[in-house]
A and B are shown apart, each in its own frame.
Chain A
Amino acid sequence: MDIKRYLNLKSLLALTGIVGLSFQQVMAQAAGVATDTVSKTDGLGKTVGYYLILFLLICVVIGIIGKVLHVYELTKQIQGKKEGIAWNKVNGILFAVTLVVGLYGAYWCYTVQGAQILPEAASEHGLKIDSMFRITLVITTIVFVITHILLFLFAYKYNYKAKRKAYYYPHNNTLEKYWTVIPAIALTVLVLMGFFTWRGITNISSDQMKSALQVDVTAHQFAWEVRYSGKDNVSGRKNYKLIGSLGGLNSLGLDLADKHNYDDLKVTEIVLPVNKSVRFTLTSQDVLHSFYMPHFRVQMNCVPGMSTFFQFTPRITTAEMKVKTNDPNFKYRLYCAKICGAQHYNMQFAVRVVTQREYDKWVKEQKPIVTDDMKKEYQLAMKENVASKENKIALNN
């Protein structure tokens, strides 16, 4: 029996050797052919072959280790010891090791990668979110650590012994009650906090809505169009059927019959005054997008056919944030967070928070969204319209 196994092992090795060699040759040939035809795939066969052989080698090594273990166990058995390797014990110990290494790994992630997460919230509601974040983090981390200690320690401690019998313990209703009620209480606390924070963020009185700075965002594949509402602080009406009208100038579909449009400003950068409430009105021209500014703890989808809103108050200027994060290149970010097509990963738009004075200066420099050319086109179109209407009336008479 043993001899047979030995032979097996040898032939296995020999076989892989042959396979490996011939494979290399084939690959070399293939590579040779490839150079003649396409230079792009030059050496490709070789790399693929290399990895394949590496893989086969690993398989062989594992196979050999397996055989060695098997032989070892067999000899132990022949010597009259019942069990060769106490696999239950080995696995139990591995769980104990995993517990220690794993907890350390989690700690490492918390500290090293945790240091790379977002800085403190740059908005007022974000502070509330952050404090809830911390409470949730602490609670879940405690549960995570305790349950894993129990799980892996039990696995380590109670591994199989032929002599022992497990403790027949089918149920205990008191325990059951404890671990229903305690999580329920913890979750109730979290729910209540979450609920009121959420309502505080989303449930805004109409006075507050009106007094906030109005900014209107239209998303489309793959860019953002932002307009400020100007002196009247009301964004003018849009109609998607007017997009591309006025000789192609009307990219947002502004309805120029609405006089609120004329003072609206077109911007290439979102600039917000610090400590002033701003209300974003969001929509999309084509597919779903998501207006996501993580530093402010702000996210809301942009939906074609309906307006969505997010109102918040920035509390740290970009300049201050540069100091706080110790990063001279710090910038606030706007991402698109809803899959929207090929360039989803690259919908850029600059965001800046400044002092009120800087803001006032900046806003004066912004151009109206309704350009003189657009106005001219519009008047022309109106005239034609009137003319054709008059024509019709004349005809009807």
Chain B
Amino acid sequence: MSTIAIPNSSAVHHDDHSHEHHKETFLTKYVFSQDHKMIAKQFLITGIIMGVIAMGLSILFRIQLAYPDKSFPLLEVLLGKFAPEGRLDPNFYLSLVTIHGTIMVFFVLTAGLSGTFSNLLIPLQLGARDMASPFMNMLSYWFFFTASAIMLSTFFIESGPAGAGWTIYPPLSALPKAMPGSGLGMTLWLVSMVLFVASSLMGGINYVSTILNMRTKGMDLWKMPLTIWAFFLTAILGILSFPVLVAGIVLLIFDRSFGTSFYLSDIYIGGQALANEGGSPILWEHLFWFLGHPEVYIVIMPAMGIASEVMSVNSRKPIFGYHAMVYSLIGITVLSFVVWGHHMFVTGMNPFLGGVFMITTLIIAVPSAVKTFNWLATLWRGNIRFTPAMLFAIGLVSFFISGGLTGIWLGNAALDINLHDTYFVVAHFHLVMGSAAIFGMLAGIYHWFPKMFGRMMNPKLGYLHFWLTFISAYLVFFPMHFMGLDGVPRRYYAFTEFESMQKWLSVNVFITWAAILGAVAQVAFLFNFFYSIFFGEKSTQNPWQANTLEWTTPVERLHGNWPGEIPTVYRWAYDYSKPGHDADFITQITPLSETMSSNLPHDFEGNEEAERIQERWNIDHKSVDKREEVK
């Protein structure tokens, strides 16, 4: 396919490049950078910071849940009137839950994950000098940054941040009288999200156009690594579904500020009957979940792509069922547009529709199952190197199984009657989305850290980080299933008012301490990450002996990626441990002519000329069928 036309001369002599046509200043290199690798790092570091903040918020509300009757003077010192007498205010509790969810889902697992790895890997793994539109790419980051700043700024306003839950269902979110969090905080939430979606769309359009147009020679679609497939389909999902959220948000802004009645009807609040008639909150739910469900796959698919790549590299084995992996991603992409109603079984939506959405929902579990089995088969008889990235990828599979299985319960409308809006749902999505996707992201960070910073992270701290996080995540979320099965609703400020819930108080204490353990474990990661940027061991060019193109670029990370011509691709990304070849990997840029001893009939894709040459070579070298040899 086409390669971007940057004159080679300027790229070759990159060292003395700076005193040529464009001088790189601090501002253009680190701030308003248009280099996809720098933008990726900007997304990553912003994402990490947002993640740490959101994690801190969760610890705050976990403390409230564990010790509802206790006063913590420190909280009052830190939070002022949001924690009078050292106890969280109930409204502020809801704000914490809301902002925690919003930041984690959108700012960390959407922008932080896709923004980092799509930007980093799409050009590098496809053999392009940069994104299709580097300028738009830069804008995408700065919109994201602005959205983050606005979202966080709401902690500093009088009425506090938005508090209606991350799904901000109206009328609660539409009526400032209903809760303080629906005042200015909600307005800013909406503004922030519009900017966020703009960022996400600019990114997505860039990803899709780069993947479709800028692959290097030989890189046809079926030679792309699974990471790229995942980023590609994720971007498509985002482009098609995010605008619907914006539409919903615009209507909500109208209802809040201009007296329209899209979502409001028959409301009596604060001693006053409102004039709004004819609207329906259900409309918001449809619009929100039309994005919201694809969103959860926007979050998990890049993580799946990363895990597939990392697992293949580190088991020194081809990913099992590459085609099935791609088709299941495509299946998930398509199906995820027709299942949103499973979030609305008991909202008053026509129950017949509920039945239909149940059918589509349970169908989507099939491609998910296929992916899981393929990962297991990839590990089978591998030669597994437990790099930290590999540990996190395996952790992802475990979480995805545990959380995916409860999806089958929730997708069943009849069972969902009793599970909806309970802790069971909280357990489900924190395992399948929260934990699995975060683990995918961490796997990616550990794996591509050398590519981003030219240095290695400390593996031993990585092991510590993995084991503590893996265990604490299960300790936190597994017991929540049982609370849900006991009918404990989510988003409850305290379990003290209902006698029936008090038996869960001790479990809450346990969960909170497990969460604190998990949070403290992240210090190991943060230290490792920031320390290694400056002092980590220097990386070699291809530290994991991987096949993909990014490891053919120099460690120094040039603007334009490859000093000379962009390499040509001759094979798929997964020729690991191929019988007949001495090393246990063959990079994508190795032509078949250099690997005569290991070529399989399948590799020639029906090119008869090549097959003939191979046959002649085989006869000359009296080579028996490779397949026999392995057995």
Residue ranges of A at the interface with B (Cβ–Cβ < 8 Å): 40-42, 44, 47-48, 55, 58-59, 62, 66, 69, 87-88, 90-92, 94-95, 98, 102, 105-106, 109, 113-114, 116-118, 128-129, 132-133, 136, 139-140, 143-144, 147-148, 150-152, 154-155, 158-161, 164-172, 175-176, 179-180, 183-184, 187, 190-191, 194-195, 197-199, 201-203, 220-221, 240-241, 243-244, 253, 285-288, 290, 292, 294-295, 297-301, 303-306, 308, 329, 331, 333, 335-346, 348
Contacts and interface: CB of A to CB of B under 8 A. Distances in A.
B74 interface: yes
B372 interface: yes
B415 interface: yes
A66 B463 CA distance: 12
B376 interface: yes
Interface string B64-96: 000000000110110000000010011100100
Contacts of A348: 497-498
A87 B369 contact: no
A113 B479 contact: yes
B417 A129 contact: yes
B136 interface: no
A147 B417 contact: no
A303 B397 CA distance: 39
Interface in B570-603: 574, 576-579, 584
Given A201-B417, A287-B178, A166 B381 contact: yes
Contact of A301 (B170, B347, B358): B347
7 contacts: A184-B366, A285-B269, A290-B420, A305-B266, A333-B498, A341-B94, A344-B491
B486 interface: yes
Contacts, number: 368
A109 B418 contact: no
A20 B413 CA distance: 57
A335 B498 contact: yes
B271 A244 contact: yes
Interface string B551-582: 00000000000000000000000101111000
B401 A144 contact: yes
Contacts of B455: none
Contacts of B178: 221, 286-287, 340-341
Which 3 A-B pairs rank lowest in CB-CB distance, beginning with the nearest?
Answer: A294-B487, A305-B265, A202-B351
Contacts of A329: 499
Contacts of B94: 339, 341-342, 344
Nearest to B497: A346
B202 to A, nearest CB: 32
B268 A286 contact: yes
Interface stretch (B137-145, B186-194, B315-323): B315-323
A143 B492 CA distance: 32
Contacts of B413: 194-195, 198
A301 B346 contact: yes
Interface size class of B (residues with CB under 8 A): 35 or more
A292 B90 CA distance: 21
A297 B171 CA distance: 26
Nearest to B461: A66
Given A158-B379, A299-B346, 17 more contacts: A59-B523, A66-B461, A136-B412, A144-B402, A147-B372, A148-B401, A155-B386, A159-B386, A167-B630, A187-B366, A197-B414, A288-B281, A294-B418, A299-B421, A305-B278, A336-B489, A337-B421
Contacts of B405: 140, 143-144
A290 B315 contact: no
Contact of A285 (B268, B479, B574): B268
Nearest to B580: A168
Given A88-B386, A140-B408, A288 B169 contact: yes
Contacts of B281: 288, 303-305
A168 B628 CA distance: 12
Contacts of A41: 73-74, 76-77
B273 A240 contact: yes
Contacts of A335: 487, 489, 498
B244 interface: no
Contact of B485 (A117, A175, A298, A299): A117
Contacts of A42: 73
B460 interface: yes
